[in-house]
Amino acid sequence: MLGATGWFLDNAWLIPIIPGVAFALIILIGKRLPMQGSELGVASMAASLVLSVGAAYQWIQRVDDAGGHSEAGTLGLIAGFGRSLTAAQEEGAAYVQPVIRSWTWWESGGASFGYGQHIDGLAVMMLFLVAFISLLVQIYSLEYVRGDRRYTHFFAAITLFSAGMLVMVLGENMIQVILGWEIMGLCSFLLIGHWWEDEANSTAALKAFLTVRVGDIGLLVGTSVLFFGANDWTQENLGTSGFTIQGLSAWALSGEASETVLLWGAVALFIACIGKSGQFPLHTWLPDAMAGPTPVSSLLHSSTMVVAGVFLVARLYPVFWEAFSIPDVSVNFIVVIAGITIVISALLAFVQDDIKKVLAYSTVSQLGYMMLGLGAGAWLPAVFHIFTHAFFKCCLFLCAGSVSHSGSHHSFDMKRDMGGLAKKMPITAGAWIVATLALAGVFPLSGFFSKDEIIDNVGHNGYEVFMYIALFGAFLTAGYMTRATYLTFFGEPRGAAAHASALEAAGAASGRAGASPQNDASGHVPSPGGAADPALEEGRASAGQVGVSPLEDRAVGGLSSEEDDPADPALHGELATAGLAHADHGDAEHHGPHESPKLILIPVCILAFFALTAGFTNAVAFGEDWEQFKEYVEPIAEASDLEAAGAAPRASDLEAAGAASVRSGSSILNDASSHSVSSPAPVQEEGGEEEHASGCGYTAPEEGGICFFPAVSHAEFEWSKAALSLIVVGIGLVGSWFVCVALYSKRSRSLVGLTQRLAPARWGYNFLWNKYYLDHLYEQRIIRSIAHPIARGANWVNQNVIDGVVNGLGIGGRKTGGWVYRNIDQRVVDGAVNASGAAAGGTGHALQPVQSGKVNQYGALLFGAAAVFAIVLVIVNV
């Protein structure tokens, strides 16, 4: 029954420990090391990656062994595609036990809180993904943040960040998941606010932290609710607490769970996921999180942090499956939120000028896809989308960083400082285009295989409405990514990107230097009736006049030297002067667009390669032999024998073994006492044959059986359905390309200024520009209406109640002190001391005459006393 385990699987808990220790070392001794601590971070991630690959390899072996066919090991999840598999899926395939080890951390009130590892296909996949992406991002950071003022702290925080995600991925129970979750929250705060000297950055960090915290309440509530609902059942049947992932999964599918408890627990947990994964009402922190350094954005948005919410849903999938009745309905909480998220964030991506914000909204939208897949029962495609999305989104962010690092003088503004960079940065542009096509879901690239599967399965599982929403989202995705690609890499160079050509034409430069900064200062005010597309106007202005002077050019470049919010005009004014001030920034040729150094290009190219090929690990389109993910990542939804499920994986655990023995004892007692009463306690079927209740997740498992995963259904791949989505994507790509060419290069009269002339277009534009007024709603309405009365009330309480109490206490204390001083101290204590002194003095004076100093008198006293004692002795004795 149990497959092979191995050293890597048994010791997978080391994977997060290594970066955790590296974090401590970097903090302690990092500054004294030759590379200022960065080597520790990179080395720890490399070590984690090695362990993860080892664990993945052994997991594949374990599944193969359990599946009954002993094919030689594969080359790991990635390289394993293309291998022909014997179809051992249907008969003899049983649920493969995850490798669980746990240690008790602390116990309280009968509940023990453990930490440990829960290694199954999902965990192995995520471990590999997190370690791999983190390693590449750290290598990239070596170049990108070189010379930063907090270089060591950057690496410390980013290492701890990865460690937090790894802790959560490994988590054996909810407490550990919360631990990793909160570590990530803290590190995201530190990293987004890495350049906290700019107030915009520290505000963004605070916003990210607090917004996620709003959701985190849900995590705590949901964990508690599920614990109190499940603990009795899990203690009785599995001998584990109600915090364990396995216990919760089995409980949810056992058919004995209370519907209400499940529903509220799942809703609370999903609220946490909304906060963490940037789903609809709480997505506003994600674009602001772009204030951090680009590698941070990349890590945050690809494999860690935002994926944590999706991962949590995937991890506790049976809970959500049962709570929202996923197989039976055609609309539920998760898919509604996800559907809204997909569309609104994709629309928002159209009006962003900041390349990173386009990508941020794209991430939000893609997370919506993952949630949609999970919500609609398409577990495997959603998890697969986590996998593929990490590669191409990380690649896109690193490309954006590469562009700003080497091409646009640290600006991220596509309309002002980019354009035409494909010629200057061919490798970056190539990687970007590959990743863009992958994101859009073009056929042979990775995004197609995951996204199309989500769309397909969503429709297959009865959520047709959301399938069309997802298709519309795919169309939008293709559109906004084409727009970003065009603005960045094609068309006329503008701003900093045009610097080199500006230098060439510097001799012919005319006196336009004064005009443009004014244009900038008034440029980005999004007034409802004013200039509709000011950035566009400005872009046309500078693009039309290639001969801008170098001075003005640097000013524009320096204007966005930090990643600021381009929508904030006041900040822009400040930075414009600052940009002018450091016009002697460096050599002119250093600022011209050029290809990035190798340390940046190598991770980008590796990621682009994976963006190209990762889809083949689960290429449903080519038949079952290609479905590696289905075989190795998705748990097999077969009911296991209760004893094997409960006791065997925890045999190494001492107290679990004790609990198991207690359990068998009680069942013996049951058997002995009554045969007629059907006891609710589980009946131990010694050597009974396995009950293959194929209805896991649909019907309660039979007596003695236990389910850990619902039987998710898979849609048959059909080229006709895939063709539909490919056509939609194709229309999006081509249509957007022509609109971009017409709008940004040819300046078609009918399109330029459309948002200014046409009232509905203007309203729509302003609506999008202001991000649906959600920030306005949160900051002006909710926070003002809730926080301000609270603040006023708190101030009143502070002034009147607390200060009154404090003052009263002070006055009372002073008066008591005075009374004590006068009466106790002065009279009693001092009186006693003085009296004893006086008594001693008086006695001394009284006895003074005796000490005459005359020997005779002493002798007389001596003998007199001796005589008196002698007489007394005589009298007494006689």
Partner 1 sequence: MFAVNFFLLAAVLFCIGVYGVIARRNAVLVLMSVELILNSVNLNLLGFSLINGNIDGHVFALYIIAVAAAEVGVGLAMVMLVYRNRRSIALDDLSEMKG
Q: Which residues bind partner 1 (CB under 8 A)?
A: 847-848, 850-856, 859-860, 863
Q: What is the dihedral of CA 365, 367, 371, 373, to 10 degrees?
A: 80
Nearer to partner 1, 669 or 860 (CB): 860
CB of 865 to partner 1, least distance (A): 12
Q: Measuring CA to CA, which residue among 361, 358, 359, 385 is closest to residue 371? A: 385
Dihedral sign of CA atoms 257, 259, 264, 269 in order: positive
Phi, psi of 367 (to 5 degrees): -60, -35
8 Å CB contact between 600 and 144 = yes
Q: How open is the CA angle 328-449-369, to the nearest 5 degrees?
A: 50
Min dist. Cβ of residue 848 to partner 1 (A): 5
CA neighbor of 356 nearest in space, from 449, 268, 418, 314: 418
Q: How far is the CB of 854 from partner 1 (least distance, A)?
A: 5
Joined tokens for residue 77: 């999840």
- Exposure letters 396-434 (e unless 16+ CB within 10 A, then b): bbbbbbbbbbbbbbbbbbbbbbbbbbbebbebbbbbbbb
The least distance separating partner 1 from the CB of residue 863, rounded to whole angstroms, comes to 5
- Give the nearest distance from C-beta 871 to partner 1 in angstroms: 15
Rounded to a whole number of angstroms, the minimum distance from the CB of residue 875 to partner 1 is 19
Beta-bridge partner residues of 111: 108
In angstroms, what is the minimal distance from the CB of 822 to partner 1?
40
Closer residue to partner 1, CB minimum distance, 759 or 850: 850
* Nearer to partner 1 (CB atom), residue 680 or residue 853: 853
DSSP codes of every residue in 385-444: HHHHHHHHHHHHHHHHHHIIIIISTT--BHHHH-SSHHHH-HHHHHHHHHHHHHHHT-TT
* CA dist list (Å): 169 to 6, 296, 501: 19, 19, 49
Nearer to partner 1, 515 or 860 (CB): 860
Q: Which residues contact 29 (CB under 8 A, 6 or more apart)?
A: 37
Contact between 146 and 132 under an 8 Å Cβ cutoff? The reply is: no
Query: Which of 837/859 has CB closer to partner 1?
Result: 859
Return the bridge partners of 118, or none. Answer: 100
Question: In whole angstroms, how close is the CB of 866 to partner 1 at the nearest point?
Answer: 9
Closer to partner 1 by Cβ: residue 749 or 854: 854
- For tokens 């479905």, what's the residue? 627
Residue linked to tokens 């056992």: 254
* CB closer to partner 1 out of 795 and 851: 851
Least distance to partner 1, CB of residue 864, Å? 9
Give the separation between CA 185 and CA 171, rounded to whole angstroms: 16
Q: Which residue, 70 or 856, is less far from partner 1 as judged by CB?
A: 856
Residue number, 823 or 851, with CB nearest to partner 1: 851
Comparison of 738 and 858: residue with beta carbon closer to partner 1: 858
Closest CB 820 distance from partner 1, rounded Å? 41
In the block, residue with structure tokens 């990865």: 162
Kindly tell me the sign of the dihedral angle through the C-alpha atoms of 700, 702, 707, 711: negative
Compute the least distance from the CB of residue 850 to partner 1, in Å.
7
Beta-sheet strands, E only, within 72-138? 99-108, 111-119
Beta carbon nearer to partner 1, 816 or 852: 852
Shortest Cβ 836–partner 1 spacing (Å): 21
Give whichever of 720 and 877 is closer to partner 1, judged by the CB atom.
877
Report, in Å, the least distance between residue 834 CB and partner 1: 24
213 contact partners, CB below 8 Å, separation of at least 6 = 185, 275
144 with 51: CB under 8 angstroms?
no
Q: What stretch of H or E contains 480?
A: helix 464-489
On whether the CB atoms of residues 30 and 37 are closer than 8 A, the answer is yes
Nearer to partner 1 among residue 855 and residue 875 (C-beta): 855
Going by their DSSP bridges, the two strands 640-641 and 111-119 should be labelled as unpaired
**Helix-strand-coil split of the chain, %, nearest 5:** 70, 5, 25
Report the nearest approach of partner 1 to the CB of residue 847 (Å): 8
Helix (H, G, I), strand (E, B) or coil at 562: coil
Map tokens 């022509």 to a residue.
738
Q: Check: CB of residue 604 under 8 Å from CB of residue 428.
A: yes
Three-state DSSP class for 101?
strand
List Cβ neighbours of 364 (8 Å cut-off, separation of 6 or more): 278, 279, 283, 286, 287, 341, 345
Give the Cα separation of 683 and 670 in Å (integer).
Answer: 9
- Least spacing, CB of residue 815 vs partner 1, in Å: 50
- SS3 for 635-647 is CCCCCEEHHHHHC
Nearer to partner 1, 773 or 869 (CB): 869
User: Is residue 434 a contact partner of residue 611, using CB atoms and an 8 Å limit?
Assistant: yes
Q: Is 4 left (phi over 0), alpha (psi -120 to 50) or beta?
A: beta
Question: Look-up: residue for tokens 């059986």?
Answer: 705
Residue 843 beta carbon to partner 1: minimum distance, rounded to whole angstroms: 12
Closest approach of Cβ 868 to partner 1, in Å? Answer: 14
Comparison of 508 and 847: residue with beta carbon closer to partner 1: 847
What's the min distance (Å) between Cβ of 869 and partner 1? 15
